[in-house]
């Protein structure tokens, strides 16, 4: 079955500390992978995406993610967290050979930032 697992429901990080959010996927075909962020009362904003090529991808707001095919993972990282990063983060997967197909989302990880 196709699925996305985000093992951490809630993470608290001190401001200035590093961050890693985990994402594992189960997908029968070559995947496209995405990370979205959702602030309270807002829609989903695309942070970064992986389609092919370099397995380390850079996104907006200083985020990066690494695709590891052998581990079926696409973890999100940031070297130094800012208070404004507090939000909910969603990992999503879609088929690489069927553009326009709906995404499958994980249940999300809520990030809290402490001062």
Q: Which residues of this chain interact with other proteins, rule CB under 8 A?
A: 4, 32, 36, 41-46, 49, 51, 90, 92, 94, 97-103, 105-108
Residue 13 or 92: which CB sits closer to other proteins? 92
CA 86 to each of CA 1, 34, 56, 83, 97: distance values in angstroms, whole numbers, following the listed order = 31, 19, 23, 6, 34
Query: CB of 100: closest distance to other proteins in angstroms?
Result: 4
Among 112, 65, 54, 58, which Cα is nearest to 93's? 65
Torsions phi, psi for 84 (to 5 deg): -70, -5
Query: CB of 56: closest distance to other proteins in angstroms?
Result: 19
Residue 17 or 46: which CB sits closer to other proteins? 46
Query: CB of 5: closest distance to other proteins in angstroms?
Result: 11
DSSP β-ladder status, 64-68 and 56-58: antiparallel
Q: What six digits make up the tokens of 96?
A: 């690489």
Residue 46 or 60: which CB sits closer to other proteins? 46
């Amino acid at each position: 079955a196709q699925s996305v697992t985000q093992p951490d429901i809630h993470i608290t990080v001190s401001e200035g500390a590093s961050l890693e959010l985990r994402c594992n996927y189960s997908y029968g075909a070559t995947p496209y992978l995405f990370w979205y962020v959702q602030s309270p009362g807002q829609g989903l904003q695309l942070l970064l995406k992986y389609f092919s090529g370099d397995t380390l991808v850079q996104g907006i707001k200083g985020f990066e993610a690494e695709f590891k095919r052998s581990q079926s993972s696409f973890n999100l990282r940031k070297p130094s967290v800012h208070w404004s990063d507090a939000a909910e983060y969603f990992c999503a997967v879609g088929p690489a050979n069927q553009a326009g197909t709906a995404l499958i989302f994980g249940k999300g990880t809520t990030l809290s930032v402490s001062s």
